[in-house]
Amino acid sequence: MTIGFLLLSTFHEANSDNLKTETIVELQDVLKKISQKDNSPFYENTLLAIKSLYDAQKMIQMIIGDHWNIISEEKKKELTHVFEQYITSNYLKMFKNIQDPSFKYINEKKIGKNYRLVKTSMIIDKSESVEINYLLQKTENKWRIFDVLLAGSVSEIATKKSEFSKHLENGGVEGLIKALKAITKL
- The answer for residues whose C-beta is within 8 angstroms of residue 154's C-beta and 6 or more apart is 4
Phi, psi of 17 (to 5 degrees): -80, -10
What pTM, to 2 d.p., does this model score? 0.80
- Residues 6-20 have pLDDT tens digits of 333 333 333 334 555
Q: Exposed, middle or buried, 119 (CB in 10 Å: 0-12/13-18/19+)?
A: middle
Residue-range domains of the chain with CATH? 3-183 (3.10.450.710)
- The answer for residues whose C-beta is within 8 angstroms of residue 103's C-beta and 6 or more apart is 8, 9, 10, 11, 12, 28, 120, 121, 122, 123
* Lowest-pLDDT choice from 92-101, 146-155, 163-172, 176-185: 92-101
User: Would you say 86 and 59 are in contact if contact means Cβ atoms under 8 Å apart?
Assistant: no
User: Would you say 157 and 149 are in contact if contact means Cβ atoms under 8 Å apart?
Assistant: no
- Residues 68-92 have pLDDT tens digits of 999 999 999 999 999 999 999 888 8
Three-state DSSP state, 117: strand
One DSSP character per residue, 65-115 reads GGGGGGS-HHHHHHHHHHHHHHHHHHHHHHHTT--S-EEEEEEEEE-STTE
Distance CA 147, CA 156 (A): 6
- One-letter amino acid at 168 equals L
CA 95 to chain centre: 13
pLDDT of residue 126: 78
